[in-house]
Amino acid sequence: MRLKTVRALTAALAVLVAAPTIPATASEKDTGRIEYTLGDTAFKVPGFLNADRTAEAEIELTGVVRHPRHFTGRRPVVMLAHGLWYSCAGETMGWPCPAGTAPTRSYLGYDYLAESLAEQGFVVVSVSVNGINAGELGQPADMARGALVNEHLEMLRDADAGRGPLARPLRVLRNRLDLTNVGLVGHSRGGRGVVWQAADIHAGDLPRGVRLRAVVPIAPADYYAPDAESPENLKYRITRIPFAVLAGDCDGGAAMNHRTFARNAAGHNLVPFHEVDLAGANHNFFNSEWAYDNDSGCAPEDTWTEREQQDVTVRYISSFLRLHMLGDTSAEQLVVNGFPGVEVTTHRPIG
């Protein structure tokens, strides 16, 4: 662990993250929040089974939207997906939760990021993934995660046109969404899921009219492939969409997982991508609903606080999305070179 770097960052954070990379206008800072649900059993993915592998898993269609209150034209859309955590209160698994037991709300754990992005003009949707977490694991779960986020995107597309089950709850967003300008952000197993969803080989699964412009897997869970030439790699290979894979140096064994995704894309990428090392970040502090479990693999003096980690996360991801979704070239230097406590390795396009 780079102790001096961590201490220097701690002293400098107030200066570094006091404002977004590009200041938002006064009107953009006035944001709205909408929660919606169609129920805990509203969705199924063909071929994705429950944990007992006895039937197709029942999955919720639940999310929370952060949006600017004052719109200028259509706004880009960012989808957030959480990772594997307990699906029900009391640190228990199963879905739907038993009567009298509340579902966990992991999808609320990225509100610090969603609010900041909404202040900068993005519409941000964080989706609940409890039903998938309670089902089978491995590649079937990645397939289901991609299908779930695509289902939310399809409902957003319909709501934008005044149709479908979200037309009424999201009526403020009608004719305001630019679904040709979508970013994906996922954490842990959710990070692996958004890589699956954005992989070249799965481009045809996107809803009609949706185009992905940027992908950010945060501390993604590793995937298994026997060797570099195995066909499994194609299911996680992104070559045409800019992506930045973030990982914390205090994230135990997961700290190196981003190397797998980088190796898989390197030498094939037609656009740049970035490996981003966060000096004092652990795994759980990325999600405020999980932060009670400090899983840092570093000594306390080498670990960022929850607030420090989230501030750094906001700064880098905001800059990355501004560059690739808003065309804000002033963010490029930070995206490519990082800042104190954040080390970036940039892979330039081939050719």
CA atoms within 13 A on the CB side of 192: 23
C-beta of residue 167 within 8 angstroms of C-beta of residue 64: no
Could you tell me how far CA 167 lies from the centroid of its own chain? 24
pLDDT at 25: 44
Amino acid of residue 67? H
For 35, the token pair is 């929660």
For 179, the token pair is 């679904």
What digits encode the pLDDT tens for the residues 39-59? 999 999 999 999 999 999 999
pLDDT at 255: 62
C-beta of residue 126 within 8 angstroms of C-beta of residue 108: yes
What digits encode the pLDDT tens for the residues 263-305? 999 999 999 999 999 999 999 999 999 999 999 999 999 999 9
In percent, the amount of the chain with pLDDT more than 70 equals 90
- Residue 22: CB atoms within 10 A of its CB come to 14
Q: How far apart are CA 309 and CA 327, in angstroms?
A: 26
111-119 helix and 306-325 helix, angle to the nearest 10 degrees: 40
pLDDT at 343: 97
Residue with tokens 């960012």: 78
For 215, the token pair is 């992908």
Low-confidence ranges of the chain (pLDDT < 70): 1-29, 253-256, 351
Q: How far apart are CA 311 and CA 288, in angstroms?
A: 12
- Residue 104: CB atoms within 10 A of its CB come to 24
pLDDT at 1: 35
